[in-house]
């Protein structure tokens, strides 16, 4: 119940509407249960039957005005009940939608604040299911379940109280099965709750399978795995159908029993009531009122199970939703954190160690000194820790030992927003949002002018391509940039980063997806842009390595070599082996193709570039292809 009580806290901004909805429920219940009373009144006073000693009606002393008054009152009660039910449903839905809106926003906002470590462990499909299906269950609880429970309680209280006022003996007979019916409703709720939990859990798995299959549709088609993915989705969908069927059959087993008990109760009441009439204990109008009340009670009593189901579903959904709301980021901003101002960009790693699970170290005793203007290239085999090094600078993860400083201040003492706004990152796996090219370039600076956006695009050597599109900067980008090539997406990502004008740059192999000529153009632009900025580059291209002020070679989380290209070539070690395996081939390829690239005019940042990228021959591609087994970007 703690989840239900906590959910009630979200109704605080809507307590006015909730109060009016509760008033509507009370009025609706009173109007509904007063109708049988007015029927009894109309019979007793409007018709005024005359009974003999045997209790039989021998005549009528009717009062026509009272009969008309009773009939009109019944009509007015029906109208009032209709208006009250409208207010109940309208206001309850307003409260439910408001609570759902607040919950979704709170969940999403918290997910945005959580660190990489959290998102590394969760499944997107499960989160999507909770934000949609579980929040919908909570909405239905407030819009239907909560007030319906109040309605059931009031109806039962009014009917049972009225029965005891008319005839306590017949009342005892009339309610004899009610406790059992309510008990069966609780039994059904207890049985249905774990089924609902399984349905909601499987809904997340179903969403995950669908999201993964659709996101990777190109891989699916490339490997002709459509049947496999369809089978995987079909199995998840079948499980969902089976669970839903089990839920329906569980409720269906109870429904006939509840209906049968209700009709049996009416039959018993009519039989015993007829005997009471014959004995002169009650009148015929009293029995009719009892029967009308029992008929009105049928639906509320049967709905007790559904109301309990709403409670059960809300408890299950609340538990899953609050897991997301209560999730804490492993990267926390200190209450006294300071903003990073007057940034020079001096980055230092001081005896830094890091482990994702506090068991298997990813980095050990890493020391790096990168003053402003220095270009640091990170090189090493797959899993050596290159990406982890650069992910620690903006505090996507926190170091487990040592510290990282920017301009002498520990990054853990800085406000996260001010730290990250001064770090520009171009990742290897580029993500573009659905929207225009302008929106994607200006993502970090939505207030940037068109001139600033174009200047960044020209610097990234993508402006000319954009202008060749039918709608230019207003061209719509498909989901994840599917309408663009890898090199085009990479250059848009570079433009997005350059627009921030950060003092610290991080390039995670940002030229890996472009051809030789495009790489040459980008490198020419970046050479000037890196001037005066601290730059970290995860390198797989020879040109990047040769331009670095310091090359840091990582192996199994440790720095095994450091120095310039020439210094490291003169040493025995991992760098020379990597060079011999792949960088030397790139050097030879560059020697063959550099004259051609040099003959290609290199446009300035503010001048148009050729409209078409130079085609890359298979020989060039093979020569420049990095050996991913040795220097893959993933770490």
How large a percentage of the chain has pLDDT more than 70?
83
First-last CA distance in the chain: 45
Contact between residue 244 and residue 238 where contact means Cβ atoms under 8 Å apart: no
Spatial strand order of the sheet with 347-355 comes to 361-370, 347-355, 401-406, 409-410
DSSP bridge pairs for 424: 505
Q: How much is the mean pLDDT over the chain?
A: 80
DSSP class per residue in 32-93: HHHHHHHHHHIIIIII-EEE-TTS-EEEE---HHHHHHHHHHHHHHHHHHHHHHHHHHHHHH
- The residue with greater pLDDT, 19 or 55, is 19
Residue 45 confidence (pLDDT) above 80? no
Return all residues near 294 (Cβ < 8 A) that are at least 6 apart.
159, 174, 262, 265, 266, 269
Q: Given this model, what pLDDT does residue 623 score?
A: 32
Question: Mean per-residue pLDDT for 208-220?
Answer: 77
pLDDT at 413: 92
pLDDT bucket at 511, cuts 50 / 70 / 90 = low
CA-nearest of 396, 392, 380, 399 to 558 is: 380
Arithmetic mean of pLDDT, 408-420: 90
Beta-bridged to residue 405, according to DSSP, are 348, 410
Among 189-193, 295-299, 343-347, name the one with the lowest average pLDDT. Answer: 189-193
As a whole number of angstroms, the distance between CA 322 and CA 245 comes to 28
Residue, of 633 and 223, whose pLDDT is higher: 223
Q: What is the pLDDT of residues 558-601, one digit of tens each?
A: 999 999 888 888 888 888 888 787 666 655 555 554 554 444 44
Q: Are 200 and 137 in contact (CB under 8 A)?
A: yes
Cα angle 569-570-574, degrees, rounded to a multiple of 5? 50
Distances (CA, A) of 283 to 156, 170, 396: 23, 12, 80
Between 554 and 220, the more confident residue is: 554
Pairing of strands 504-508, 534-538: parallel
Q: How many CB atoms lie within 10 A of CB 247?
A: 17
The closest alpha carbon to 108, from 124, 87, 88, 131, belongs to 131
| Eight-class DSSP state of 414 | B
Residue 359 confidence (pLDDT) above 70: no
Least confident interval from 302-306, 310-314, 340-344, 487-491: 302-306
By the 8 A CB rule, do 265 and 273 touch? no
Rg (CA), the chain: 37
Dist. CA 583–CA 231, nearest whole Å? 44
Angle 274-280-282 from CA coordinates, rounded to 5°: 65
pLDDT of residue 55: 59
pLDDT of 279: 79
Alpha-carbon distance 604 to 524, whole Å?
9
194-208, 285-299, 472-486: range with highest mean pLDDT: 285-299
Q: What is the mean pLDDT of residues 321-343?
A: 86
**β-pair partners for 401:** 353
Residue 159 pLDDT: 86
Which of 122-136, 356-370, 372-386 has the lowest average pLDDT? 122-136
Could you give the percent of the chain with pLDDT greater than 90?
Answer: 17
Please state, as a whole number, how many other Cβ atoms lie within 10 Å of the Cβ of residue 358: 8
Are 432 and 353 in contact, with CB atoms under 8 Å apart?
no
3-state secondary structure of 238: helix
What's the Cα-to-Cα distance from 309 to each of 154, 239, 293, 602, rounded to whole Å?
19, 21, 25, 70
Residue 383 has pLDDT above 70, yes or no: yes
For the stretch 241-295, pLDDT in tens is 888 888 888 877 777 777 788 788 888 888 888 888 877 788 888 888 888 888 8
User: Would you state the pLDDT for residue 515?
Assistant: 65
Neighbour-count burial for 317-346, b at 16+ CB within 10 Å, e otherwise: bbebbbebeeeebebebeeebeebeebbbb
The confidence score (pLDDT) of residue 369 equals 94
Flag whether pLDDT at 613 surpasses 50: no
402, pLDDT greater than 90? yes
What pLDDT is stored for residue 528 in this prediction?
61
The two structure tokens encoding residue 459:
């610097």
Using the predicted structure, report yes or no on whether residue 615 has a pLDDT greater than 80: no
pLDDT at residue 635, as a whole number: 38
Dist. CA 75–CA 528, nearest whole Å? 85
State how far the Cα of 65 lies from the Cα of 259, in Å rounded to an integer: 39
pLDDT of residue 599: 42
Q: What pLDDT sits at residue 41?
A: 82
Angle 351-354-360 from CA coordinates, rounded to 5° = 125
Q: pLDDT tens, 512-554?
A: 556 666 666 666 666 666 777 899 988 766 667 777 889 999 9
Mean pLDDT across 407-417: 91
The pLDDT of residue 99 is 92
| Sequence-ordered list of residues with C-beta below 8 angstroms from that of 520, at least 6 positions apart, any chain | 543, 597, 600, 602
The strand pairing partners of 57, in sequence order, are 51
What are the Cα distances from residue 443, in Å, to 214, 500, 503?
Answer: 25, 9, 18
């Amino acid at each position: 119940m703690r989840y239900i009580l906590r959910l009630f806290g979200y109704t605080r901004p809507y307590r006015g509407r909730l109060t009016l909805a509760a008033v509507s429920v009370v009025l609706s219940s009173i109007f509904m249960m007063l109708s049988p009373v007015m029927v009894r009144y109309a019979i007793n006073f409007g018709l005024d039957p005359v009974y003999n000693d045997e209790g039989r009606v021998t005549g009528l002393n009717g009062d026509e005005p009272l009969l008309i008054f009773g009939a009109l009152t019944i009509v007015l009660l029906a109208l009032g009940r209709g208006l009250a039910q409208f207010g109940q449903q309208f206001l309850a839905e307003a409260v439910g939608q408001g609570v759902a809106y607040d919950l979704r926003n709170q969940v999403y906002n918290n997910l945005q604040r959580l660190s990489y470590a959290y998102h590394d462990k969760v499944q997107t499909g499960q989160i999507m299911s909770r934000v949609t299906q579980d929040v919908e269950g909570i909405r239905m609880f407030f819009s239907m379940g909560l007030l319906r429970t109040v309605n059931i309680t009031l109806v039962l209280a009014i009917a049972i109280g009225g029965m005891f006022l008319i005839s306590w003996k017949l009342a005892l007979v009339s309610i004899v099965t009610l406790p059992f019916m309510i008990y069966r409703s609780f039994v059904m709720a207890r049985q249905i709750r774990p089924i609902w939990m399984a349905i909601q859990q499987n809904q997340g798995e179903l969403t995950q399978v669908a999201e993964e299959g659709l996101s990777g549709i190109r891989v699916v088609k490339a490997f002709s795995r459509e049947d496999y993915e369809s089978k995987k989705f079909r199995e998840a969908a079948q499980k969902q159908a089976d669970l839903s069927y089990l839920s329906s059959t569980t409720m269906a087993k109870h429904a006939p029993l509840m209906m049968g008990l209700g009709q049996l109760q009416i039959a018993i009441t009519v039989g015993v009531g007829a005997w009471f009439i014959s004995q002169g204990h009650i009148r015929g109008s009293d029995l009719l009122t009892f029967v009308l009340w029992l008929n009105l009670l049928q639906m509320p009593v049967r709905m007790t199970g559904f109301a309990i189901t709403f409670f059960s579903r809300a408890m299950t959904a609340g538990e899953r939703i609050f897991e997301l709301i209560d999730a804490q980021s492993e990267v926390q901003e200190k209450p006294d954190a300071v903003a990073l101002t007057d940034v020079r960009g001096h980055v230092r790693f001081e005896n830094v160690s890091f482990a994702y699970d506090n068991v298997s170290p990813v980095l050990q005793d890493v020391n790096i000194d990168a003053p402003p203007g220095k270009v640091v290239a990170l090189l090493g085999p797959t899993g050596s820790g290159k990406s982890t090094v650069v992910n620690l600078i903006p505090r996507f993860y926190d170091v487990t030992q040592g510290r990282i400083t920017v301009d002498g201040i520990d990054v853990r003492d800085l406000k996260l927003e001010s730290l990250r706004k001064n770090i520009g990152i171009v990742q290897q796996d580029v993500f573009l949002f659905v929207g225009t090219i302008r929106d994607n370039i200006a993502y970090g600076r939505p207030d940037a002018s068109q001139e600033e956006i174009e200047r960044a695009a020209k610097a990234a050597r993508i402006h000319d391509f954009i202008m060749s599109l039918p709608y230019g900067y207003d061209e719509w980008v498909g989901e994840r940039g599917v309408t663009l090539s890898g090199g085009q997406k990479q250059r848009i990502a570079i433009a997005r980063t350059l627009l921030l004008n950060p003092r610290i740059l991080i390039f995670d192999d940002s030229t890996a997806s472009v051809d030789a000529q495009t790489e040459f153009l980008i490198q020419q632009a970046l050479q000037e842009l890196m001037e005066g900025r601290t730059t970290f580059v995860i390198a797989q291209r020879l040109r990047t390595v040769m331009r670095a002020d310091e090359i840091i070679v990582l192996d199994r989380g440790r720095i095994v070599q450091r120095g310039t290209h020439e210094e490291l070539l003169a040493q025995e070690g991992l760098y020379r082996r990597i060079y011999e395996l792949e960088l030397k081939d790139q050097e030879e390829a560059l020697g063959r193709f550099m004259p051609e690239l040099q003959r290609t005019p290199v446009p300035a940042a503010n001048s148009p570039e050729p409209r078409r990228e130079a085609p890359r021959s298979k020989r060039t591609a093979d020569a420049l292809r990095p050996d991913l087994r040795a220097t893959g970007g993933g770490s």
